[in-house]
Chain A
Amino acid sequence: MAAGKDAFEIRIHGRGGQGAKSASQLIVEAALDQGKQIQAFPEYGPERTGAPMKTYARISDKPITTYEPVLEPDTVLVIDPTLIGQVDVTGGMHKDSVLIVNTTETPEEMKKKLGFSGRVYTVDATGISIKLLGRNVPNTPMIGALMKITGVIDVKYVEQRVEDMFLKKIGREKTDANINAIKTAYDEVKG
């Protein structure tokens, strides 16, 4: 977190329908369980599936009052690798900010591609998701990577929230697969 700031600020880039909104919600819900003050809101455009979209999250020990979009994120998650080069994913990042990209490329390759010298981490969230969940839902593994790199939320709270969210709907096996995907991304994120 940048000096002088009360809140840890996250920006997530995704496409409509990829679960960027759910990811931001899961992050703040886990933070809430940790006793934090939270805020999560999407930047809605015309709400089209597949269109690039952003969503924001703030986590703080103090009450969060501002409704300003996150302009200087401490962490940026890029859920869809095809957004690289299409939208400005590094905008507003400061020297301590972290960029985490869902890609098979290495952090060095990504830095070069973006012309970005800050801290970059990569994880193959799509690969993990297809292998463990049988379909492309990279938003949950990305949270694993976020936890590893930033430590802003604790794994056990995320696990609990995933259980609460999925167990009734999709059963034990698939819920465990989701938790496993988060843990795998936690272990595999590079940078």
Chain B
Amino acid sequence: MMAEAKHKVVSLTGNYAIAEAMRQINPDVVAAYPITPQSAIVEKFSGFVNNGLVDTEMVRVESEHSAMSACVGASMAGIRTMTATCSAGLALMWEIVGVASGLRCPIVMPIANRAISAPINIHCDHSDSMGARDLGWIQIYNETAQEAYENVFLALRLAEHPKVQLPVMVCEDGFITSHCVQNVKIFDDAVMKKFIGTRKPEFALLDLKNPITVGAIELQDYYFETKRQQQEAMENVPAAYLEIGKELSKITGSDYGFFQEYKTNDADAIILTMSSATGTARSVVDKMRAKGKKVGLIKLRLFRPFPYEAVAKALEGKKIVGVLDRSMSFGAHSPLFGEIRNAVYGMKDKPALQSYVFGLGGRDLLESHVEQVFEELLAGKTNDEIKYLGLREVSQ
């Protein structure tokens, strides 16, 4: 562990930890609409605005579509802009989510992951942000309130990196993390302020000496070229992510790899997870290791852009890997599983893979489920079908 900068340890929910990060960032504009389970971020931050702790222009919009529209306008004006949403809110802002990435707005948007209706459900799964995975945003998934707090800062720097200039979603699990009170280290205001610096936009609508046009029509003649640039920006993300992460770790002592490996070195079976499921799985790894079972865990943080090469390297020579998805791509491989399958393609010594789906609509992931997965993997049981955890196959 590296030395940590000055900080205080407090008890905060994921939402409040994110709101704290926003207070320290002090964005120029926040335009947001509350939606369960994200609401507490917006409520808490509104409090900061009203109590004069930040000088943010808080735009109280009438919908998420307007929230993202206001954010795009503010961001193109050249200033720091943030919002937050989830589920139906993300779905409603969909059109402008693509505009934000297409116009290269470095907006940071925390997401308290929640299921997509119908049936209506306020609880956690990843179907909201996974549905938006091809809209050109960077996506970082977080296990704890602490990780979410720290990654809001990383996201901001990454979004504004000259070679990137793309919006970022910082995802935490709705209720599970967003409403869970945990120990959180809040680093010194001045230290974090120094870390984020100021935004230096390449173009800005408010730069009156250099007038620009934003959002001009591009048809068959230029749209394709502009989209190719977005791909280039995404390809620049991994290096920038690691570079900024290195800098941030000097403050926090945390590591900011694309993923985190836990006891994988000699593991006979590995589970690959994202977000809060990792914590539960880690607890199981410890318990099974204590019984002499060689199991390990990989937590993926960066889902967009997807770090294929690094993941492939981590999985090379491993025997068997279970991939846990908290969302589905109906009629296709689940989002994370599909990417892992892509990552190992062409690998000489590739592991056997098994797709698991769990936790849709907030269904609890129990340690016994994870243990069951490890036992199946250790027994070498894989097939081409999705296995479901915690789903009733028969009435109980």
A and B touch in the complex (CB under 8 A): yes
Q: Which residues of A contact B (CB under 8 A)?
A: 24-25, 28-29, 32, 37-42, 44, 46-47, 64-69, 71
Closest 10 CB pairs of A and B: A66-B283, A65-B279, A41-B180, A40-B181, A65-B282, A67-B276, A32-B11, A66-B280, A29-B11, A67-B280
**Are the C-beta atoms of A39 and B181 separated by less than 8 Å?**
yes
Chain A residues with CB under 8 Å of B133's CB are none
Q: A39-B181, A67-B365, A69-B364 are in contact. Are A44 and B175 (CB under 8 A)?
A: yes
Chain B residues with CB under 8 Å of A42's CB are 179
Of B176, B179, B183, the residue contacting A37 (CB under 8 A) is B183
Q: A44-B175, A65-B283 are in contact. Are A38 and B182 (CB under 8 A)?
A: yes
Of B122, B123, B180, B181, the residue contacting A67 (CB under 8 A) is B180
**Are the C-beta atoms of B180 and A39 separated by less than 8 Å?**
yes
Chain B residues with CB under 8 Å of A64's CB are 182
Q: Judge whether B255 is part of the interface by a CB distance below 8 angstroms.
A: no
Q: A32-B10, A38-B11, A41-B176 are in contact. Are A68 and B364 (CB under 8 A)?
A: yes
Minimum CB–CB distance from B36 to chain A (whole Å) comes to 8
Scan B349-368; emit 1 where CB is below 8 A from any A CB, else 0. Answer: 00000000000000011110
Scan B247-289; emit 1 where CB is below 8 A from any A CB, else 0. Answer: 0000000000000000000000000000011111011000000
Minimum CB–CB distance from A6 to chain B (whole Å) comes to 9
Closest to B181 in A: A40
Chain A residues with CB under 8 Å of B3's CB are none
What's the interface size class on B, roughly? 20 to 34
Minimum CB–CB distance from B293 to chain A (whole Å) comes to 16
Of A32, A40, A44, A71, the residue contacting B123 (CB under 8 A) is A44
Of A28, A66, A69, the residue contacting B279 (CB under 8 A) is A66
A25-B10 Cα distance, complex, nearest whole Å: 12
Minimum CB–CB distance from A143 to chain B (whole Å) comes to 15
Minimum CB–CB distance from A64 to chain B (whole Å) comes to 8
Scan B123-142; emit 1 where CB is below 8 A from any A CB, else 0. Answer: 10000000000000000000
A69-B176 Cα distance, complex, nearest whole Å: 10
**Are the C-beta atoms of A67 and B279 separated by less than 8 Å?**
yes
Chain A residues with CB under 8 Å of B180's CB are 39-41, 67
Q: Judge whether B9 is part of the interface by a CB distance below 8 angstroms.
A: yes
**Are the C-beta atoms of A68 and B365 separated by less than 8 Å?**
yes
In B137-196, the 8 Å CB interface with A consists of 173, 175-177, 179-183
Of A24, A32, A44, A66, the residue contacting B9 (CB under 8 A) is A32
**Are the C-beta atoms of B179 and A41 separated by less than 8 Å?**
yes
Chain A residues with CB under 8 Å of B365's CB are 67-68
A37-B276 Cα distance, complex, nearest whole Å: 17
**Are the C-beta atoms of A28 and B11 separated by less than 8 Å?**
yes
Task: How many A-B residue pairs have C-beta atoms within 8 angstroms? Tell me.
Answer: 63
Chain B residues with CB under 8 Å of A25's CB are 11, 181
**Are the C-beta atoms of B181 and A28 separated by less than 8 Å?**
yes
Minimum CB–CB distance from A96 to chain B (whole Å) comes to 19
Chain A residues with CB under 8 Å of B183's CB are 32, 37-38
A44-B13 Cα distance, complex, nearest whole Å: 15
**Are the C-beta atoms of B176 and A67 separated by less than 8 Å?**
yes
A46-B120 Cα distance, complex, nearest whole Å: 11
**Are the C-beta atoms of B9 and A68 separated by less than 8 Å?**
no
Chain A residues with CB under 8 Å of B175's CB are 41, 44
Most buried by A among B10, B122, B182, B365: B182
Most buried by B among A29, A41, A67, A69: A67
Chain A residues with CB under 8 Å of B176's CB are 41, 67
Chain A residues with CB under 8 Å of B280's CB are 65-68
Chain A residues with CB under 8 Å of B181's CB are 24-25, 28-29, 38-41
Closest to B290 in A: A4
Scan B227-256; emit 1 where CB is below 8 A from any A CB, else 0. Answer: 000000000000000000000000000000
Q: A32-B183, A39-B181, A41-B176 are in contact. Are A68 and B123 (CB under 8 A)?
A: no
| Contacts beyond the supplied A29-B11, A66-B283: 15 A-B pairs with Cβ under 8 Å | A25-B181, A37-B183, A38-B11, A39-B180, A40-B11, A41-B176, A41-B179, A42-B179, A44-B175, A47-B122, A66-B280, A67-B176, A67-B277, A68-B366, A69-B364
Scan B3-44; emit 1 where CB is below 8 A from any A CB, else 0. Answer: 000000111000000000000000000000000000000000
Minimum CB–CB distance from A59 to chain B (whole Å) comes to 11
A179-B173 Cα distance, complex, nearest whole Å: 35
A32-B11 Cα distance, complex, nearest whole Å: 7
Most buried by B among A46, A47, A64: A64
A4-B276 Cα distance, complex, nearest whole Å: 23
In B280-330, the 8 Å CB interface with A consists of 280, 282-283
**Are the C-beta atoms of A66 and B11 separated by less than 8 Å?**
no
A150-B49 Cα distance, complex, nearest whole Å: 42
Provide a sorted-by-A list of 16 A–B residue pairs whose CB atoms are within 8 angstroms.
A40-B11, A41-B176, A41-B181, A44-B123, A44-B179, A46-B122, A65-B282, A66-B282, A67-B176, A67-B276, A67-B277, A67-B279, A68-B364, A68-B365, A69-B366, A71-B366
A37-B283 Cα distance, complex, nearest whole Å: 15
Minimum CB–CB distance from B77 to chain A (whole Å) comes to 38
In B344-396, the 8 Å CB interface with A consists of 364-367
A66-B276 Cα distance, complex, nearest whole Å: 8
A41-B367 Cα distance, complex, nearest whole Å: 17
Most buried by A among B181, B276, B279, B364: B181
